[in-house]
Every structure is written in C-alpha cells, then in structure tokens.
C-alpha cells in the first residue's frame, strides 16, 4: 500500500509564515482557548459521573470463543466495563464489513491502561458468532469479541455505540452510552488529525480561504490498494496492511444485514 496523501492531493493554501515570537504569541492565545475547552470537558465528565444508572440482567447470555457466557463474565472480575458495538453484514467477505466500526475497533486493540484502572473492554457484534473468528484472525484483533445476536438493548440493540457498565457483585448496571460523533473521543487518529494544518480534510471544516477543498465526511473509511479513497473496489483502510489481503473486485457486502 502506498502512502498517498489523500487529504491534500493538490494543496495551495498554507498557514501564514511568521517569526518565532509572533508564532508563540498566537500559540499562547490559542492555548487559553484550549485550556478552557479542557476544563469544560472536565466539567462534562464530572456530570457524566453523576448520571443515574439502570440495573440490567447480568445473567443475559452472549456468545464468545468459549461459547455462551453470562454478560457479567465480560467484566473479567473487574468492576467496570466498556464495550464497543460493532455492526455486522451477514455473509459478507472481510472487505464488506462495516467501515465505520472498523475505525473504532482498530484503535481499541490494547486495553492495558484501562485494565490498570480496573476497567475491562470488549467488542460486541450483532453478527452470528460462526462468522466472527475468521474475521478476527484476518484483522489480527486480540480483544475479546462476543455475539449479541438476538439480545435486546442495552447489551445488544443498535450498533455503533460505546457503552459503559458497572458491576456490584453479581448485579450489573448501565451507566453511559454514546454514538455518532460521541464515539470520536476514543479514536486517537481524529484528535491527531485535528492538530495538523489541514485537519481531517473534510468539506464541513471551517478552513481559511485557499485551503484544499475538503472531501465528504468519512472518506477515509475506505481506500483502494494504492491508498486512494474509493468505494466500490476497496476495503476499510487498515485491512490493506493485513497478511493475505487481496485485490478487491467488488465490495461484497450483502444488500441487507440482520
């Protein structure tokens, strides 16, 4: 796979050049805004910790590598659990699986720092379990995955969410849930792109005059083998680096998924 810069194929706009003192003054002005943003984020997190919680049935069975297990087992003896809910297209080849969920799952491959704070992590999918292990092997995922096919919310239900649970002995409680742009916080690539001059390279951005024209949101979900953003003959971006990745002649996704 090449390293084509799909954000900026023909950039003409550039930040204004200045001496270091001028840059520092502008940077300090922006830093004051960044600190205010951080403090507001702290206040929102404090409010999040004060949300009420809802008791759920911790004995609800989900299916993983060891077969059916009660949901409370996903805590692995810890008191807190974060799950990501991964969409699934039944019967689709690897390149046909959800590109947006790939963004989130790919960036949550190591929970060592969560575990160190008493938090477990797992990925839930609406797909049938028999289809999941080959996909995990291809992608190189090592986090625990479970099928929640036929399981109601908040354990199952709508996919594309980060959901948080708390355990008190055998009792299990729902404490938080987010989707849409709320899932960006755990995806470090977004925050890093936001630090760069051209950002995410998306049309919705507020850019200076002369900046490269942005593309639609989520253009980075899929690329072809050369790294160019495409759709019909492509696969989610991380898949091109996997051993055994082959050219794509069609998307391969079924018309509907269950």
Asked whether residue 106 is assigned to any structural domain, the reply reads: yes
Q: What is the pLDDT of residues 153-180, one digit of tens each?
A: 999 999 999 999 999 999 999 999 999 9
Domain CATH number, residue 149: 3.40.30.10
**Beta partners for 236?**
222
Q: Give the pLDDT confidence of 130-148 residue by residue, as tens digits.
A: 999 999 999 999 999 999 9
Is residue 44 in some structural domain? no
135 found inside a domain: yes
What local confidence, expressed as pLDDT, does residue 8 receive?
Answer: 46
Residue 76 forms part of a structural domain: yes
Contact residues for 180 (Cβ-Cβ < 8 A; gap 6+): none
Let me know if residue 26 belongs to a domain. Answer: no
> Does residue 148 belong to any structural domain of this protein?
yes
Phi, psi for 97 (deg, rounded to 5):
-75, 165
Residue 206 resides in a domain: no
> What band does 66 get if pLDDT is binned at 50, 70 and 90?
very high
Q: What is the mean pLDDT of the chain?
A: 90
Residue 11: per-residue pLDDT = 52
User: Is 70 inside any structural domain?
Assistant: yes
- Predicted local distance difference test score (pLDDT) of residue 4: 42
Q: What is the pLDDT of residue 131?
A: 97
Domain limits for position 71: 52-183
Range name among 21-25, 79-83, 129-133, 206-210 with the lowest pLDDT average = 206-210
In the predicted structure, residue 69 carries a pLDDT above the cut 50 = yes
Q: Name, in order, each residue with C-beta under 8 angstroms of 75's C-beta and a sequence gap of 6 or more.
A: 81, 120, 165, 167, 172
CB proximity list for 227: less than 8 A, separation 6 or greater:
1, 2, 3, 4, 6, 240
Q: How many domains does the chain have?
A: 1
Binned at pLDDT 50, 70 and 90, residue 2 comes out as: very low
């Amino acid at each position: 796979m090449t390293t084509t810069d799909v954000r900026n194929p023909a950039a003409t706009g550039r930040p204004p050049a200045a001496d270091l003192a001028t840059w520092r003054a502008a940077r300090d002005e922006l830093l004051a805004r960044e600190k205010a943003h951080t403090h507001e984020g702290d206040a929102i997190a404090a409010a999040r910790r004060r949300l009420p919680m809802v008791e759920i049935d911790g004995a609800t069975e989900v299916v993983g590598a060891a077969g059916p297990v009660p949901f409370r087992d996903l805590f692995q003896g810890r008191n807190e659990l974060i799950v990501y809910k991964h969409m699934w297209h039944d019967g689709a080849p690897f390149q046909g699986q959800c590109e947006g969920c790939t963004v989130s799952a790919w960036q949550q491959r190591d929970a060592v720092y969560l575990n160190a704070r008493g938090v477990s992590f797992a990925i839930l999918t609406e797909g049938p379990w028999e289809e999941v292990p080959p996909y995990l092997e291809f992608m190189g995922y090592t986090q625990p995955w479970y099928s929640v096919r036929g399981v109601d919310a908040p354990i199952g239900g709508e996919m594309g969410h980060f959901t948080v649970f708390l355990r008190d002995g055998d009792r299990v409680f729902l404490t938080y849930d987010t989707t849409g742009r709320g899932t960006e916080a755990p995806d470090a690539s977004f925050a890093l792109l936001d630090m760069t001059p051209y950002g995410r390279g998306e049309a919705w951005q507020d850019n200076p005059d002369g900046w490269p024209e942005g593309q639609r949101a989520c253009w980075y979900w899929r690329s072809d083998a050369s790294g160019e953003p495409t759709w019909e003959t492509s696969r989610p971006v991380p898949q091109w680096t996997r051993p055994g990745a082959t050219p794509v002649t069609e998307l391969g996704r079924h018309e509907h998924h269950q």
